[in-house]
Chains A and B, each alone.
Chain A
Amino acid sequence: MAKIEWPAADRTALIGGRITRIDGLEKSVGEAKYTYDINLDNQLVAVGLGCPHGHCKILALDAAPAQKVRGVVHVELLKKPDDEIQWEGELLAVVAAESEGAAREGVARLREALKFEELDVWVDDEDLEGAQGAKRTNKAGDRVKLEKEPGDDDDEDEFVEQEIERLFKESKHVVEGYYGIDAITHCCLEPHGSTVEWNGDKLNAYLSTQNVSGTDEGFAGGLGITADDVTVTCKYIGGGFGSKFAPDYWAIEAAKIAKKTGRPVQLMLDRDQELKLGGNRPSGYLKVKIGADADGVVQVWDSQHWGTSGPQGGGVSQSVVPYVYQPKNHRVVATGIRTNTAPARAWRAPNHPQACAMSQTAYDDLARKMGVDSLEIFKKNLANIASRQTAKVYADEMDIAARLIDWKAKWHPHGKGEAKGSVVEGLGMAIHEWGGVANDSAAIVRIHPDGGVSTFCGTQELGTGTRTCCAIVTAETLGLKVDDINVNIGVSTYPISGASGGSTTIGAISESHRRAATEALNQLCAKVAPKLEASADELEAVDGRIQVIGKPDHSVTWKEACTMLGMKPLEASASHKRGNATPLSSEGVGGVQMAHVAVDKETGVVKVKKFVVVQDMGLIINRLTAESQCYGAAIMGIAYALFEQRLMDPATGRFINAELSEYKLPRIGDIGEIVIELYEPEDQRSRGVIGLGEPPVISPGAAISNAVCNALGVRVPVLPITPERVVAAMQAQA
């Protein structure tokens, strides 16, 4: 019997290769159908009315003006007089119509008739004192760890205070700093939404979701039916990034309207609604004092940080501050600020990018203050890390990254580089860690007597190449080609597979497909064994044949083997439970990134010249799409490091740049040269598959901030590093 394990590196036909996507052409010629592309017979277009103020009480909301609009079929009011709205954009009503024009006209009529009372608004998440004065703060958590323990008679708080003071006194180098990172939005290009139809009492929901197997219950609960009456389909999704795990109330409303009108309904958020409601990442601002010994090894960290996750406060978790580097003595205090902004959602590597940007900048400022090479400080401090990857791997990865960016030749002390006109250049780096455990996943592999192979799994193609990886793992196991596998994913009636969040999908589907395909192969081999005069466990599937191990001349073709199944297809299913010990997958990765930037001191414009990503991820299934994850993460990192920020109007609580002309994201001309190095020595490969989606998006903020600081000799404290902020930091220095 074939065992549940991966083939050795020199025995793979597909795994680890550069395999183009099996759905690539569908996407590039526009045939891939997303939720937004579903056109059902007699379908209505629905558009929502968003609340125009950050905090208000509804006084009048009347459906009649919209109902009079020609082409409007149904108006659903979601709120009523006296309801209090806590953030701008919250949907107050939905208009369903025969055309987009009619729906929008209906919404415009509702808006004209809407009356509301403005209530007090708080949207400033950087002004901690102001928020305290406005009673908008709450304790979000704290954490203290000291090498020395208090004596039995010591007052604990007093002891901590005195001990930290003592540690700073003993420190050879002390640095104080302020760092921050503004709230950003997920900005999925396909907005959140659904296209829904009823078939009697059964709901067919096309939902833009990264949780195909887990959203039927959300619909059912909101509609008073049971989950078995709901089928969720998402064959393609136009971006999720952690924001599309649930149907959301607007998908439930779409289903209600479809029920009431007896017609299919499509309700997708408008662009501004997508930015306002569809998900945002908490902001973080941090004041810190660190003390290091003569070598530059940090001995004590004392910080307080704050920020917002929306009306509940929240902010960046104290659990990952300071980030990766964790001195033996540290005190971290976190405060949440309650703002009139929509609740935050998981954004690729929740908490980590902000924590990295707020803490590894301080380590770079230590190097700046000491006048030594940042790389040296980052290496020395590997002595004290809290990570799921080892210091040895980080050290290796640092050497590789340094070589790729030519660190030795290009690094100069902070602010001491040669200026070309008004342009100065600099280097910066950062490191990160992530888990990437395999999620729950079940799959079915079916082998037909004619040789056809199909797989079924309730996972989803988030853009990471999951569909292709299902085919790679199955084909590798059965000795076939990728195109031989008919992959079926994206429907909730398929075997349950976990949500795509936290870099858990590649491990999940690799587990389920490898296991199910191995089981199917074993069954097939049992049928073929007599013909080859061997036992089933002496057979292997290689290159389109079933053969006696190592003997191609004792073989049958795949097709011939399948005819031995008789009339019925063979079906095998298997599943993996998250957390189970397994030779196929594990968790815990690191990664090192380095940035080379050019900064124009006159205009404040920062350009990334080169960006190096060195990333480990255990065993690589598809090198091509793994690299794409790293490219994409680097570019999303450049986005939040230099461009994007949510800008709120303090008077009205309005998100004033909630359109893509104003919400700045990098374009193709803004990214510079990006170099990806996947780190996969045998001691990493043998750990099995580990998720890759989150880790490479964590370091860019700190790496770019450090590079800008290296160029200017001045810290631009808060991301994104806009030209305005560069100029302000330079002026503050002068």
Chain B
Amino acid sequence: MREVKDRPPASGFSRRDFLKGSSAVAAASLAAQEALGQEKAQAGSQVVSGWTEITLDVNGQKQKVKVEPRTTLLEVLRRQLDLTGAKPVSLDDSTGASTVLVDDRPIEASTTLAVAVVDKKIRTVESFGGPHPDPVCSAFVEYDAQQCGFCTPGFVVAVRAFLDKNPNATEEQIRQGLNGNLCRCGTYAQVIQAALDVVNSNQQ
């Protein structure tokens, strides 16, 4: 698999690069534009342009990555860190497939700029695995809450975040609280069962 060093051109940019970068942002996807709006609101005075190296805290590890202002967190995770659990399903933030946790809050990596999450703790679905998988993952397997599985990682992260916030969630609350995630194969019925099982296990 590819290493980070193989990636984009070296940094060291000029005023011209910055302008290029800016116009590129203007032409970039709706997703990136929306995400830039969020970033502006949060980042204050820092100016970033062209390709630059940043450090992200992903699954407890500091990772150096190279990004442009328009680079989404999802692209960095998937293409530079080979963390491909979060999926690119939609450019418009409407499916939950790219859900990751940033400072424990679920966000869509597809519409979050990489530069906006420097100094934040990013957790991807891959951190749910290992020898002792997160009970949400195990419950998804137990209840067969997955078919093709493409929406599953996003759903798993969303369920985890939802249950952390609502550890005693009822079935009705689960049906109301997880509408941000889209599944085409139709696994919702078993997602509900899996989430309820995690709640019940917590209560025992």
Which residues of A come within 8 Å of B, CB atoms? 20-21, 24-25, 27-34, 36-37, 39-43, 45, 69-71, 98-102, 104-105, 108-109, 187-190, 236-241, 268, 270-271, 462-465, 624-625, 627-628, 631-636, 639, 659-661, 665-669, 671, 674
- Binding-face segment, B5-13, B40-48, B196-204: B5-13
Q: How far is the CB of B51 from chain A (nearest CB, A)?
A: 9
Instruction: Report yes or no: A20 in contact with B188, Cβ–Cβ below 8 A.
Output: no
Q: Are B141 and A42 in contact (CB under 8 A)?
A: no
The winner among B27, B136, B176, B189 for most chain A CB atoms within 10 A is B189
A30 touches B126 (CB 8 A): yes
B119 to chain A, nearest CB (A): 22
- Nearest Cβ in chain A — how far from B187, in angstroms? 7
Interface residues on chain B, number (Cβ under 8 Å): 76
Residue from B24, B87, B145 within 8 A of A190 (CB atoms): B87
Q: How far is the CA of A125 from the CA of B152 in the complex (A)?
A: 36
Given A99-B75, A108-B27, A668-B174, check contact A27 B2 (CB 8 Å): no
Contact among A101, A104, A189, A667 with B87 in the assembled complex (CB-CB below 8 Å) = A189
Q: Do A463 and B186 touch across chains, with their CB atoms under 8 A apart?
A: no
Instruction: Specify which chain B residues have a CB less than 8 angstroms from the CB of A669 in the assembled complex.
Output: 175-176, 178-179
Question: In the complex, A634→B72 CA distance in Å?
Answer: 36
B125 proximal to A (CB < 8 A): yes
Contacts of A21 in B (CB 8 A): 141, 144, 146
- The complex places the Cα of A34 from the Cα of B2 at a distance, in Å, of 16
Q: Is B62 an interface residue (CB 8 A)?
A: no
Task: Sample 24 A-B pairs with CB under 8 A, ordered by A number.
Answer: A21-B144, A29-B133, A30-B156, A34-B87, A37-B84, A39-B1, A39-B2, A39-B79, A41-B1, A41-B6, A70-B9, A98-B9, A238-B149, A239-B184, A462-B148, A463-B185, A625-B144, A628-B144, A628-B147, A631-B187, A632-B147, A659-B92, A667-B179, A669-B178
Distance of A108 from chain B, by nearest CB (Å): 4
Question: Do B191 and A668 have beta carbons less than 8 Å apart?
Answer: yes
| Residue in B20, B29, B141 whose beta carbon sits within 8 Å of that of A24 in the complex | B141
Q: With an 8 A cutoff between CB atoms, is B94 at the interface?
A: yes
Q: Nearest chain-B residue to A239 (Cβ)?
A: B148
Query: Residue B107 at the A interface, CB < 8 A?
Result: no
In the complex, the chain B residue whose C-beta lies closest to that of A30 is B85
- Tell me whether A270 and B184 are in contact in the complex, defined as CB-CB below 8 angstroms, given that A101-B24, A238-B148 are known contacts: no
* Contact status B144-A24, CB under 8 Å: yes
Interface contact B129-A25, CB-CB below 8 Å: yes
Given the complex, which residues of A lie within 8 Å of B108, measured CB to CB?
A: none
Given contacts A28-B153, A101-B24, A660-B95, contact A188 B184 (CB under 8 A): yes
Q: For residue B150, which residue of chain A has the nearest CB?
A: A238
Chain B residue contacts of A634, Cβ below 8 A: 186
A453 and B90 alpha carbons, distance in the complex (Å)? 41
Q: Cβ of B115 < 8 Å from any Cβ of A?
A: no
B84 CB contacts on chain A under 8 angstroms: 30, 33-34, 36-37, 39
Residues of A within 8 A of B24 (CB): 69, 101-102, 105
Q: Which 10 A-B pairs have the closest CB atoms?
A: A30-B85, A635-B186, A238-B150, A463-B148, A29-B129, A27-B149, A632-B186, A24-B141, A37-B84, A463-B147
A contact residues around B85 at 8 Å (CB) = 29-31
Q: Could you tell me the distance between the alpha carbons of A43 and B3 in the complex, rounded to whole angstroms?
A: 11
Whether B28 and A71, one on each chain, are in contact in the complex, defined by CB atoms closer than 8 angstroms, is no
Smallest Cβ-Cβ distance to B179: which chain A residue? A667
Given known A39-B79, A98-B9, A632-B186, contact A189–B151 (CB-CB < 8 A)? yes
A37-B78 in contact given A633-B186, A668-B181, A669-B179 (Cβ < 8 Å): yes
Q: In angstroms, how far is the closest chain B Cβ from the Cβ of A635?
A: 3
B72 to chain A: closest CB distance in Å? 8
Among A33, A71, A188, A627, point to the contact of B9 (Cβ < 8 A).
Answer: A71
A89 to B37, CA, bound (A): 28
Q: Name which residue of chain B comes closest to A108, CB basis.
A: B27
Q: Quick one: given A99-B75, A271-B90, are A30 and B125 in contact (CB under 8 Å)?
A: yes
- Closest CB of chain B to A629's CB: distance in Å? 8
Which among B6, B95, B141, B144 is the interface contact of A189 at CB below 8 angstroms?
Answer: B95
From A33, which residue of chain B is reached at the shortest CB distance? B84
Known: A28-B156, A668-B188. A659 touches B90 (CB 8 A): yes
B164 within 8 Å of A (CB atoms): no
B89 within 8 A of A: yes
Contact present for A632 and B187 (CB under 8 Å): yes
Q: Is B88 in contact with chain A by the CB < 8 A criterion? A: yes
> Closest B-chain residue to A271, C-beta based?
B90
Q: Is B53 an interface residue (CB 8 A)?
A: no
Q: Are A631 and B8 in contact (CB under 8 A)?
A: no
User: Residue of A at shortest CB range from B23?
Assistant: A105
Query: In the complex where A632-B147, A665-B182 touch, is A189 in contact with B89 (Cβ < 8 A)?
Result: yes
Given contacts A24-B141, A25-B138, A271-B91, 7 further A-B contacts (CB under 8 A): A27-B149, A29-B129, A31-B85, A34-B84, A102-B24, A238-B150, A667-B178
Name the distance in Å between A369's Cβ and chain B's nearest Cβ: 34
Using Cβ atoms and an 8 Å threshold, which residues of chain B touch A69?
24
What CA separation (Å) do A636 and B68 show in the bound complex?
A: 39
Distance in Å: Cβ of A192 to nearest Cβ of chain B:
13
Chain A proximity of B130: nearest CB distance (Å):
8
Mark B139-169 against chain A: 1 for CB-CB distance below 8 A, else 0: 0111011111111110010000000000000
Q: Which residue of B lies closest to A99 (CB)?
A: B8
Instruction: Contact check, A30 vs B83: say whether CB atoms are below 8 A apart.
Output: yes
Is A660 a contact partner of B90 (Cβ separation < 8 A)? yes
> B73: CB under 8 A from chain A?
no
Which residues on the A side are within 8 Å of B141 (C-beta)? 20-21, 24-25, 28
Q: List chain B residues, Cβ under 8 A from A102.
A: 24
Q: Shortest beta-carbon distance, A403 to chain B, in Å? A: 20
Interface-centre pick from B72, B86, B92, B134 (highest chain A CB count, 10 A):
B92
Residue pair B137, A28 in contact (C-beta under 8 Å): yes
A626 nearest in chain B by CB position? B144
Which A residues touch B192, using CB under 8 A?
668
- Given known contacts A100-B75, A189-B184, A631 and B189 CB-to-CB distance under 8 angstroms: yes
Chain A min CB distance to B46 (Å): 19
Q: How many angstroms between the C-alpha atoms of A109 and B26 in the bound complex? A: 12
In the complex with contacts A39-B84, A463-B147, A659-B91, A635-B189 CB distance below 8 A: yes
Q: How far is B24's CA from A189's CA once the two chains are assembled, in angstroms?
A: 27
> For the complex, what is the distance from the CA of A197 to the CA of B94, rounded to whole Å?
32
Is A36's CB under 8 angstroms from B87's CB? yes
Pair B152/A104 contact, Cβ less than 8 Å: no
Contact B190 A25 (CB under 8 A): no
Q: Which residue of B lies closest to A43 (CB)?
A: B2
Distance A190 CA – B189 CA, assembled complex (angstroms): 21
Q: How far is the CA of A271 from the CA of B179 in the complex (A)?
A: 20
The answer to whether B1 and A29 have CB atoms under 8 Å apart is: no
Residue contact B186 to A101, C-beta cutoff 8 Å:
no
Q: Are A668 and B178 in contact (CB under 8 A)?
A: yes
- Residue in A24, A30, A271, A667 whose CB lies within 8 Å of B89: A271
Bound together, the chains give a CA A238 to CA B146 distance in angstroms of: 11
Check if B71 is an interface residue, CB within 8 A of chain A.
yes
Contact of A30 with B186 at beta-carbon distance under 8 Å, contacts A40-B2, A105-B28, A668-B192 already known: no
* Most A Cβ at <10 Å: residue of B84, B124, B186: B186
Q: Is B117 an interface residue (CB 8 A)?
A: no
B101 close to chain A: CB less than 8 A:
no
Contact across chains for A631 and B190 when beta carbons are under 8 A apart: yes
Cα–Cα, bound, A633→B85 (Å)? 25
Cα-based distance from A667 to B188 in the complex (angstroms) = 8
Question: Which of A69, A634, A665: most chain B Cβ within 10 A?
Answer: A665
Q: How far is the CB of B92 from chain A (nearest CB, A)?
A: 5
B82 within 8 A of A: yes
Closest to B149 in A: A27
User: In the complex, are the beta carbons of B28 and A101 less than 8 A apart?
Assistant: yes
With a cutoff of 8 Å between Cβ atoms, the chain B residues found around residue A99 in the complex are 8, 68, 71, 75, 79
- Contact status A238-B189, CB under 8 Å: no
Could you tell me the distance between the alpha carbons of A36 and B138 in the complex, rounded to whole angstroms? 24
Most chain A beta-carbon neighbours within 10 Å: one of B8, B125, B185, B190: B185
CA distance A333 to B145 in the complex (A): 43
* Contact A187 B184, beta carbon cutoff 8 Å: yes
